[in-house]
């Protein structure tokens, strides 16, 4: 995408974005959605993925709004409330949105919930990958 196309997309989408996810409206900043590189959102906002608009001009994403709320909160805070949602469902959506750090955290959580207490203690002493 050349510079003029990028400028068009930034002007078209603006800094405050209004989303309609599965019929529920969300508002957030461009920065929140694009802070993690190479996600569904960066591709969408750079024009690599086409988008639909609803009757009010919100970007329409045909996904589960309850799960999206958890994903959006993760993008805002880098924290996950696992009590509010099923791990597999959240991981499926994180994979759809291509949010690699969230997918990795959820895979680790799934492994730990399926492990015995000894495994949890063992993994607790291992440094994270790449450190």
- Which pTM was predicted? 0.76
Residue where the block lists tokens 């607790």: 124
Q: How many CA atoms lie within 13 A of 113 on its CB side?
A: 10
Looking at residue 116, its pLDDT comes to 59
pLDDT digits (tens, 9 = 90+) for 23-82: 999 999 999 999 999 999 999 999 999 999 999 999 999 999 999 999 999 999 999 888
Looking at residue 122, its pLDDT comes to 54
Q: Over the chain, what is the mean pLDDT? A: 84
**Class of the CATH domain delimited by 3-125:** alpha beta
pLDDT digits (tens, 9 = 90+) for 59-71: 999 999 999 999 9
More confident residue, 22 or 15: 22
Kind plus residue range of the DSSP H or E element containing 100: helix 100-114
């Amino acid at each position: 995408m050349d510079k003029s196309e990028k400028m068009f997309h930034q002007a078209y989408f603006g800094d405050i974005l209004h989303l309609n996810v599965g019929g529920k409206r969300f508002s957030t900043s461009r920065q929140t959605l694009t802070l993690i590189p190479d996600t569904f959102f960066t591709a969408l906002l750079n024009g690599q993925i086409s988008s639909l608009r609803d009757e009010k001009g919100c970007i329409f994403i045909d996904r589960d709004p309850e799960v999206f709320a958890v994903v959006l909160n993760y993008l805002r805070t880098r924290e996950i409330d696992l009590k509010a949602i099923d791990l597999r469902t959240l991981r499926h959506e994180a994979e759809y949105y291509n949010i690699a750090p969230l997918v990795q955290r959820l895979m680790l959580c799934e492994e730990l919930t399926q492990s015995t207490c000894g495994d949890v203690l063992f993994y607790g002493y291992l440094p994270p990958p790449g450190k």
